[in-house]
């Protein structure tokens, strides 16, 4: 794609509304534009990133055996009344009436609706287990929308819901979702922690949060550098007291799942290995729950088991935020110049910059390199604008494309391209005929298809 033919409305100044780097840089880099408080349009660069995050999530969900579907945003109140959450959810729920004065909501989540679907179609143990997921827009009327995409009123989320015969089958799917979420964040290239968490309004008996590390994160964690143990900073007194009474309760595990550490502070000792703890901050991007029969009992979603008895479906739910991951990635991976996209979700892989304007030889060479990269199936942004090299470099830093191919007077004499990596500003020289080898090695090193 040529810069002059694309739509990248970058901003020089920091917007006054921006509160944290991810908010500021998403606006300045032309990823998003504000429509109203907590509501944003995604511009072409931001949309490309979203699609890449979605595709990684979709691949890992499909590989785990989950099945994709798509549920309506508008949900009838009757389902929420049956679950008891119509009143419980409070003012965060967007509510509306149709022309016949019937109550509906814009879905903040889909437990009720998916359970109704199970009530209609999951009648026998022969249909189980099954794990259904969607990538869908959600709505929550935040009391104080802030931090750009991190506390928005409209956002994109992948939510999955499993239905099983028993707790053992639920445990298998829960573990597969735990592992899938770890692979998603690792493929994207983010540093994260997993901790046990409160179940909140979703409910259930057991849950884990997936938290991307970031200085401006709202979540506070305790982490042991020695053994890797991590836990939420704020924990209930009941868990703390249980831990004090039971010396064998130092760490409970199910696979790699660690239970919470009671109210740790900087300098406290790890209850696993005794080393000093560090306090970290992060952004919650995913949350998985063991729901049990909370929704299936209330919405009468039952199945005929092998013993001939009707039983409530045993449920789990698993959410991960697409727009939240985008914001968290910027929050973790940026500097004072702009974004540093990991190659896995970058809007483009290579940015071609010509530093010497109006030189026919350079123009021909850059056109040739652009065509070569496209033939190699590289997502390339060719900055063909008639502006100064300084503006091109500033925009390139801001939008954060992982690799720059720089052509200037040096190229005219040596036929060498200056290759610069956005991540660490490292530069290497690359002969034109070595481009295919370079791209092959870069793709392999970054697991790009």
Query: What does the alpha-carbon distance between residue 33 and residue 30 come to, in Å, rounded to a whole number?
Result: 7
Burial of 130 (0-12, 13-18, 19+ CB in 10 A): middle
pLDDT tens-digit profile of 214-251? 999 989 888 888 888 787 776 522 333 333 433 333 33
**365 plus 284 within the same structural domain:** no
Mean pLDDT on 362-383: 96
**316 plus 356 within the same structural domain:** no
Backbone CA torsion sign across 15, 16, 18, 20: positive
DSSP line for 57-84: HHHHHHHTT-EE----SEEEHHHHHHHT
pLDDT tens-digit profile of 115-173? 999 999 999 999 999 999 999 999 999 999 999 999 999 999 999 999 999 999 999 99
In which element (H, E) is residue 312 found?
Answer: strand 310-312
**318 plus 358 within the same structural domain:** no
Domain region containing 252? 21-332
Query: In the structure, what pLDDT confidence band is assigned to residue 197 with cuts at 50, 70 and 90?
Result: confident
**308 plus 389 within the same structural domain:** no
Query: What does the alpha-carbon distance between residue 414 and residue 391 come to, in Å, rounded to a whole number?
Result: 25
Residue 246: CATH number of its domain: 3.30.930.10
DSSP line for 267-305: TPBPTTT-PBPEEEEEEEEEEEEEEETHHHHHTT-EEE-
Of 301, 332, 363, the residue at which a domain comes to its end is 332
**282 plus 371 within the same structural domain:** no
Q: Report the share of the chain in percent with pLDDT over 70.
A: 91
Taking phi first (over 0 means left), then psi (-120 to 50 degrees means alpha), and beta for anything else, what does residue 389 get?
alpha
Q: CB–CB of 40/33 below 8 Å?
A: yes
Mean pLDDT on 374-403: 96
The answer to the question of residue 197 being in a domain is yes
Q: What total of structural domains would you count in the chain?
A: 2
**203 plus 315 within the same structural domain:** yes
- The length of the chain is 449
pLDDT for residue 348:
98
């Amino acid at each position: 794609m040529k810069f002059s033919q694309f739509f990248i409305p970058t901003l020089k100044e920091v917007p006054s509304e921006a509160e944290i780097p991810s908010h500021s840089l998403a606006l300045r880099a032309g990823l998003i534009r504000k429509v109203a408080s907590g509501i944003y349009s995604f511009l072409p660069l931001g949309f490309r990133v979203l699609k890449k995050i979605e595709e990684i999530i979709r691949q890992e969900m499909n590989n785990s055996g989950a099945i994709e579907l798509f549920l309506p945003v508008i949900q009838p109140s009757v389902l929420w009344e049956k679950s008891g959450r119509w009143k419980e959810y409070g003012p965060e729920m967007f509510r509306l009436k149709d022309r016949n004065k019937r109550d509906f909501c814009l879905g903040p989540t889909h437990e009720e609706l998916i359970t109704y679907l199970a009530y209609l179609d999951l009648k026998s143990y022969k249909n189980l287990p099954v794990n259904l997921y969607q990538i869908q827009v959600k709505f929550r009327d935040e009391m104080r929308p802030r931090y750009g995409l991190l506390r928005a009123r409209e956002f994109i989320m992948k939510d999955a819901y499993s239905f099983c015969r028993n707790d053992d089958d639920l445990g298998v799917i829960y573990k597969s979702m735990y592992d899938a979420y770890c692979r998603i964040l690792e493929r994207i290239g983010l540093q994260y922690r997993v901790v046990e968490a409160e179940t909140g309004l979703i409910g259930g008996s057991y849950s884990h949060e997936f938290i991307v590390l970031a200085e401006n994160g709202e979540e506070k964690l305790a982490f042991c550098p020695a053994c890797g143990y991590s836990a939420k900073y704020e924990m209930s007194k009941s868990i703390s007291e249980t831990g004090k009474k039971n010396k064998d309760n130092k760490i409970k595990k199910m696979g790699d799942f660690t239970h919470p550490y009671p109210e740790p502070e900087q300098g406290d000792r790890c209850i696993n290995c005794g080393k000093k703890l560090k306090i970290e901050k992060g952004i919650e991007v995913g949350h998985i729950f063991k729901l049990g029969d909370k929704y299936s009992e209330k919405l009468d979603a039952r199945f005929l088991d092998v013993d001939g008895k009707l039983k409530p479906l045993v449920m789990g739910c698993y959410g991960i935020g697409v727009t939240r991951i985008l914001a968290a990635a910027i929050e973790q991976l940026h500097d004072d110049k702009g974004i540093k996209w990991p190659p896995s979700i970058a809007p483009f892989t290579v940015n071609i910059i010509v530093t010497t304007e109006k030189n026919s030889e350079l123009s021909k060479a850059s056109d040739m390199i652009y065509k070569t990269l496209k033939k190699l199936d590289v997502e390339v942004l060719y900055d063909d604008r008639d502006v100064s090299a300084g503006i091109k470099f500033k925009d390139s830093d801001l939008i954060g494309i992982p690799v720059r191919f720089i052509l200037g007077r040096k190229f005219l004499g040596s036929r060498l391209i200056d290759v610069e990596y956005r991540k660490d500003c490292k530069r290497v020289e690359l002969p034109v005929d070595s481009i295919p080898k370079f791209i092959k090695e870069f793709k392999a090193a970054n697991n790009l298809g």
